[in-house]
Amino acid sequence: MTTYTLAFKPAIGLYGQHDPSAALFEDGDLVFAVEEERLSREKHAVDTFPERAIRAALDHAGIDLPAVDRVLLPYDPSLRSNILPHYVRDAVRVDGALRKVTAVENVVKTQLESRFAPTRRIESRLADIGTPVPPIETRPHHACHAASAFHPSGFDEALVVTIDAKGEYDATVVWHGDEDGLERVRTYEHPNSLGLFFAAITEYLGYRMFNGEGKVMGLAPYGEDDPDIERTLRSLVDTGVDYDVTELTRRWGTGYGVRRLEAAFGRDRNDAPEAFTQWEQNLAHTAQKLLEETVLDIIERHAEVAGTANLAVAGGVALNCKLNKRLRESPAVDELFVQPAAHDAGLALGAGLLDQRPSQVPTMETVYHGPSYDTGDIRTVLEMNKIAYSEPGDVERHIAERLADGALVGWFNGRLELGPRALGNRSILADPRSIDSRDRVNRFVKHREEWRPFAPSMLESAVEEYLVDGERAPFMISAFDVRPEKRDEIPAALHPADDTTRPQTVSARQNPRYHRLISEFEALTGVPVVLNTSFNDHAEPIVNTPTEALKDFFGMGLDVLVLQDMVVTKTDAAVKREARSVESL
């Protein structure tokens, strides 16, 4: 008899504010996972219960909620009491007797709610989906991050490090993983949070926390060492294995940290992050440098004690691909696995894996865990909306020819990816050989800052030819140096400031159709690489449905759209007509 485990991460109350998701396991095997934002169409699905994601998971298996044997939540409210001393100390620091009393009352209220309210609230929301509600169990936040990294890594033993803004009370945790599971080695407690440190820098530079950190990482290579900036920033934080960033992170959120940065630098926060001064670029460079310095020291010190050179990483900070490059290149690390959904959306995976023996969990090869759409249904949408399409006998060859001619292509195929990267199923593709491709995608397709780089998808067999110390990298989550003699072949897929790249390597085993497309492009051009960015407009989640793909296609500067076996191209008349309305699937 099949057993079902539903794991999901809400974004309500104590469960955090962003990136809710749901995952379904059949007899312990992951069969479906999706982020709520892909269904709600609200970026990060802030302050949202993942009802759509839960329903999609149940629909995939053809079951209703009562058929689920247990529900797992990747947050243990009982652990919140560990953070009480900090909040009490922070409350009594507040100026003014009335404000001090109010602050203490809020601390007490929050602690009571964390003990008694959360699970009841979840039960109530689940009852709207189906009754009776299955038993609900909780798992510690950082333990779920750790399981999401270690269990599917393929390692028998590893050092595991989880780094984010905050779990129940912890912000960075070092673990030892082996065949028996995970053992906590060291805990850095909130508010000593590297995630909040980088979030404060992000907000100071004009972006939003939990959304703009990747932009700051991308900005960093444009900067350079600035002794005055570094001296000031180091006066606020201590780096290394015993780091302390609480001078910027003492209170939850980033307002306090931004004010401290404004006072220290004598400059107001940037309110217009469309363009950056050299000083702001240098600040991003310095913040990235201090983050890398700290995490590298934590890992190198603990790897020596743990006696293993395998490293697994998760938590929102692990999405920093420049940091991951430094970790991969460390002499202390032989093998690195970074959970591709390292942010909070990956917690549902970890919750479902945590109780399993790591050796029984398959190595993660892909992240194609979301919804898919039948070719016949897609054809119905096209015909119902009177959208002209063709069905070439060899779609991959046809699209490779269009890419080689300079076309910008929307590529929609198979199951939706989990995580922040499009990996060849919901992608926008272009010719990597021309800087013009990069600039056109930024300006006319993604409608974003023109300084931001793009990444390549390359055949796995070409890794050593193009990358320095190249290795298999299927999840586009670590940066690499590109061999100097190959840079002129793929300029559109390099970071303009340092000539690094964040590749996805593609094998026939991993994604046969995408592999064949890139192979056909190589046959035409001699270059086994395509530029690949996520299929979405600026500030929008990656598209999920064919209808969303069509709407973005007609609203963007794309030339061609591939929907499974069908190809749609633009004419001026079609753009005017189809942009008005596309019926949903």
Q: Which of 290, 518, 294, 558 shows the shortest CA–CA distance to 408?
A: 558
Cα–Cα distance measured from residue 69 to residue 470, given in angstroms and rounded to the nearest whole number: 44
Cα–Cα distance measured from residue 549 to residue 543, given in angstroms and rounded to the nearest whole number: 6
Q: What is the DSSP letter of 416?
A: P
Q: Which of 1, 326, 409, 362 shows the shortest CA–CA distance to 151?
A: 362
Length of the chain measured in residues: 585
The DSSP annotation for 240-286 comes to STT-B-HHHHSSSSSHHHHHHHHHHHT-PPPS-TTS--HHHHHHHHH
Cα–Cα distance measured from residue 356 to residue 358, given in angstroms and rounded to the nearest whole number: 6
The number of beta carbons lying within 10 Å of the beta carbon of residue 133 is: 18
Q: Catalytic pick from 18, 86, 142, 515?
A: 18
b (16+ CB within 10 A) / e for 356-374:
bebeebeebebbbbbbebe
Phi, psi values for residue 6, rounded to 5°? -105, 120
Look up 141 and say whether it is catalytic.
no
Strand pairing report for 500-501 and 480-481: antiparallel
Report yes or no: 537 and 43 within 8 Å, Cβ to Cβ: no
| Contact residues for 63 (Cβ-Cβ < 8 A; gap 6+) | 4
Write the single-letter amino acid at 72. Answer: L
Report yes or no: 503 and 458 within 8 Å, Cβ to Cβ: yes
Report yes or no: 35 and 19 within 8 Å, Cβ to Cβ: yes
Report yes or no: 547 and 535 within 8 Å, Cβ to Cβ: no
Catalytic residue positions, numbered:
18
